[in-house]
Chains A and B, each alone.
Chain A
């Protein structure tokens, strides 16, 4: 047990050390990433003035939001089907298509989707051009898998007797779903949304394949800049990124802890 705890701490240091160094050196005056000269925020100012980067950032943000909504919509239905419908024709194919994107190498997904888009536009004239729209479709396709897994495990843990009671009282399946099931699985929907959002915001490989001229997402711009070498501007960007996610997730965790404490206190008070 002690050995395992030591490993946990060592593993966490391993996970966070590179990020920490990245953050520290984003405040370095010098262009060199190894030598500390003096504290400065000039890379942040340069970052904000970089129109290409900011444009790509907003494009990525839009795609990520749209992806998250669609992935949660499709993922909720898929999870509901997988958990509640029992066996139906074509179920093996369905569950395969839901699970396989979790492990499919990105280069294969990216290339195959591009060939689909090119083939379809030859055959049907759609999609006429590649850009934000095709990236959105690609991102939804691989995010649905992750969202479905999250929501279906929540659905499985859920107490089914409430749904049955509503059903017995004469509610239609649709009403049961929106009034009973949906509020109960809301936390899973929120984490599924956040996961799909970050997956989309993070994707370089698939977006590079399916994007067209003019539509560069943030990871694509970061990648072309990283290829030219380490730059403190990218460190500054990474710091903002990591900071947002750390603060955001910690707040969610904290709220949930508080909420749990509140719920237990309330229960205790009532009981």
Chain B
């Protein structure tokens, strides 16, 4: 028994196989299905889409169409939703960076055990439910919510500020929900920063701002880029935040896809939306993969 088992284990193929096959079947293969269905037509049946090819007596026949894509081009709604998603995600990512960087820096300069305590404090909220954390803002931002209530009783405003169901609420939601994902990679870089370089900069008479711009920030660049991708890419396709905090005018593509699928029950159009979204996210995903692999290798 032992020689056989040892042989199997020595054979790398069997070690790699379980995670490889799992990810191939349940992560890569589904994209083939989404591409296929995006060329189908919507039917009232189960499953609710037509075949895109057939193997009849006369051989292979292509039955698909690009109507779903033409439909997306035709309607302003989708164009606006894509544009809005990228704009909202981009601005929120930048705000996230501005908030996260000093936080990550401050934590990296603390001594143990405070460093791990503060790191834990930053990560903890993201271990509680995302849905609940976004939900918490509804009660705060509503017209008769806590913030308006407080501002009005202080006499700072006469009528409630409209904060919920606006762009502002979406920005806030993304920054709030994704902040730990920006802090962590930046912290990982900053904590490994060689401080003799910073001291050398000071010794040579550089001002703090200059030391930051020319030494600290460039050295933490890979963390900054990884953090930005880690926030931006999922935020583009975000559903919970635009659905709970956004208004009817602040369409984001993740919500549009959700509605095509769950409300209109149009699986082919939902697939076409996903294919288009993926086709412009593939470039950031590619760069994210590269930087993530470099960072992983740099640890060694």
Point out residues on A near B: beta carbons under 8 Å. Answer: 1, 3-5, 7-8, 11-12, 14-16, 18-19, 21-22, 25, 33-34, 73-75, 77-78, 80-83, 85, 88, 90, 93-109, 111-113, 115-116, 118-119, 122, 137-138, 140-141, 144, 148-149, 152-153, 156-157, 172-174, 194-195, 198, 201-202, 204-205, 208-209, 219, 222-223, 226, 230, 234, 237-238, 241-242, 245-246, 249-250, 253, 257
Contacts and interface: CB of A to CB of B under 8 A. Distances in A.
Contact of B236 (A7, A16, A105, A172): A105
Contact of B300 (A34, A95, A156): A156
B239 interface: yes
Given A18-B133, A156-B299, A219-B129, 9 more contacts: A18-B140, A21-B139, A33-B145, A83-B300, A105-B277, A107-B274, A148-B19, A153-B299, A201-B129
Nearest to B29: A116
B282 to A, nearest CB: 10
29 contacts: A15-B179, A21-B136, A22-B139, A77-B16, A81-B15, A81-B16, A81-B19, A97-B23, A100-B289, A103-B285, A103-B288, A105-B234, A105-B238, A107-B237, A107-B257, A109-B30, A111-B257, A115-B33, A115-B37, A156-B296, A156-B300, A195-B127, A202-B129, A219-B129, A226-B131, A230-B138, A234-B132, A245-B127, A253-B116
B163 interface: no
Interface string B13-57: 001101110111111111101101100000000010000000000
B106 A14 contact: no
Given A34-B146, A144-B23, A173-B9, A112 B103 contact: no
Nearest to B149: A34
Interface string B266-297: 01001100100110010011001100110010
Contacts, number: 261
Given A103-B288, A107-B258, A253-B120, A8 B240 contact: no
Contact of B5 (A95, A156, A174): A174
B222 to A, nearest CB: 14
B87 to A, nearest CB: 16
A271 to B, nearest CB: 20
Contacts of B124: 245-246, 249
Given A226-B244, A245-B127, A74 B285 contact: no
- Most chain A CB neighbours (cut-off 10 Å) among B5, B12, B20, B285: B20
A130 to B, nearest CB: 12
Contact of B106 (A7, A93, A103, A118): A7
Interface of B: 5-6, 9-10, 12, 15-16, 18-20, 22-31, 33-34, 36-37, 47, 99-100, 102-103, 105-107, 109, 113, 116-118, 120-122, 124-125, 127-133, 135-140, 142, 144-146, 149, 176, 179, 229-230, 233-234, 236-240, 244, 254, 257-258, 261-262, 267, 270-271, 274, 277-278, 281, 284-285, 288-289, 292-293, 296, 299-300
A15 B285 contact: no
B129 A249 contact: no
